[in-house]
Amino acid sequence: MPLPTYSAGMAPDQLPIESGSGIWTIDGDSLVNLERFDLGPAIVLVPSEEILLLSVDLPIASARRRLEALPFAIEERIAQPIADIHAALGAELGAQRYLAGVMARERMQRLTELLIASGLGQATVVPDVLGLPLPPPGAWSLDVAGDRALVRAEDGTGFALPRAHLVAAWAASARPRVILYGGAAPEEMAAEAGTYEDAGLAARLTQPALDLRQGRFAAPRRRIAPLWRRVAIVAAAGICAHAAIAGVDTIAVQRIATNRATEMRALVQQVAPSAVIGDDVAASAAEILPASGAGPSGFLPLFVRVGGALKPLGSAIHMHAISYDASAGTMSIEVEAATMEGLQQVGSALTAAGLSAQAGAASQSDGKAAGAFLIRGAA
């Protein structure tokens, strides 16, 4: 299924004035709708001609500090002053290497204003080239639509260019293998036909490698509608009820998380049959549920990560209680191990999984060590 082509902007009365779930593209200063669904994320694709995608080394542990350091890390690679650009940080591409997107600040400001005026203030903004799959080493992913070509490179970056310049760019890149996902490639590129794992564009963009809505342009939070609040509370409360049982070991925690994810999928599909739910139910549910500082939408993703981090420790530890502070986005757990060294392994496992784990009070008696940890989603 090829990526969308860009057509004339839609009339003002076609704009999603209230709110919407679906996929839109940008044509100049107009929104063009590609897909709609009753519930799910709102995604706006931006022409990749307007964005510079880079692979950036940022050997910094803190996600917040990585974002702060990003403009300075790319300063010598861009042709504009830092004050004139908007830089956004994306997915990790390798060890301490990240995808970054750079866009003119003024353009990002206009785009944000357009989204808000059109009722899409919560939308994710994604360069359209990221709808292409990441190619294997030594290859390009390619989509050609009319006179326009999109290229995704093996390092996770990508770009758009006129089809007339495609062969020259390919030759300058040492003629990589080309996997074609739409349109017709020049004959000399000997392109192979590619097949999307997820045929639908919505499924491929549920967790994009880069969202430009960051920093001053981040999407505002909004209140959870009553119906979805009930869905979220039922899902989160169900996990809490199981996880708080004394003596639950980490294998059980992982099993509970898996079972609850299945229940969550069924519940969401029952309430919202048209909702787009990816393989990662936790992430999809977080997208479907409107964000709220007081809502429980962050519980399930964090719970699954904690369970996955502690699973390798097996029966060496037992979890006695779990609680979640939605306003702070933190989870507290009480753990029992045979020794104090066992508790230290818990902290190490959480940290190795990219979680921020702050050790609390610990004690040892009757041949057992007990301790508490305060956990956040990012180290």
- Measured distance CA(306)–CA(254) in Å, rounded: 9
Mean pLDDT throughout 15-21? Answer: 52
Q: How far apart are the first and last CA of the chain?
A: 38
Mean pLDDT throughout 222-244? Answer: 47
**Do 1-133+196-219 and 135-193 show the same overall fold?**
yes
Mean pLDDT comparison of 107-116, 261-270, 285-294, 306-315, highest-scoring range: 107-116
The pLDDT of residue 131? 93
- DSSP-derived letter for residue 95 is T
- Measured distance CA(194)–CA(139) in Å, rounded: 12
The pLDDT of residue 240? 45
Rounded (10°) CA dihedral 44, 48, 49, 52: 120
% the chain with pLDDT above 70: 71
Of 54-68, 134-148, 310-324, minimum mean pLDDT range: 310-324
Q: Starting at the edge strand that comes first in sequence, how are the strands of the sheet with 192-193 ordered?
A: 158-162, 148-152, 139-145, 177-182, 192-193
The one-letter code for the residue type at 215 is: G
Domain at 1-133+196-219: CATH code: 3.30.420.380
Q: Which CATH class is domain 135-193?
A: alpha beta
Higher pLDDT, 70 or 41: 70
Whether the pLDDT of residue 221 is over 70: the answer is no
Whether the pLDDT of residue 290 is over 90: the answer is no
- Contact present, 282 and 304 (Cβ < 8 Å): yes
The one-letter code for the residue type at 325 is: D
pLDDT digits (tens, 9 = 90+) for 78-101: 878 889 999 999 999 988 899 999
Domain ranges of the chain: 1-133+196-219, 135-193, 226-376
Predicted structure pTM score: 0.58
- Measured distance CA(50)–CA(298) in Å, rounded: 32
pLDDT digits (tens, 9 = 90+) for 238-274: 444 444 433 444 555 555 556 556 655 655 554 444 4
- Measured distance CA(324)–CA(319) in Å, rounded: 14
- What average pLDDT is seen over the chain? 78
pLDDT digits (tens, 9 = 90+) for 323-373: 777 777 888 888 888 888 888 999 999 998 888 888 888 888 878 888 888
Helix (H) or strand (E) holding 23: strand 22-27
Which one is the CATH code of 226-376: 1.10.30.50, 3.30.1360.100, 3.90.70.10, 3.40.1160.10? Answer: 3.30.1360.100
Q: Any alpha helices (H) in 218-298, and if so which ranges? A: 226-243, 250-271, 281-288
Mean pLDDT throughout 156-184? Answer: 94
Nearest CA to 324 out of 262, 252, 233, 221 is that of: 233
Higher pLDDT, 67 or 105: 105
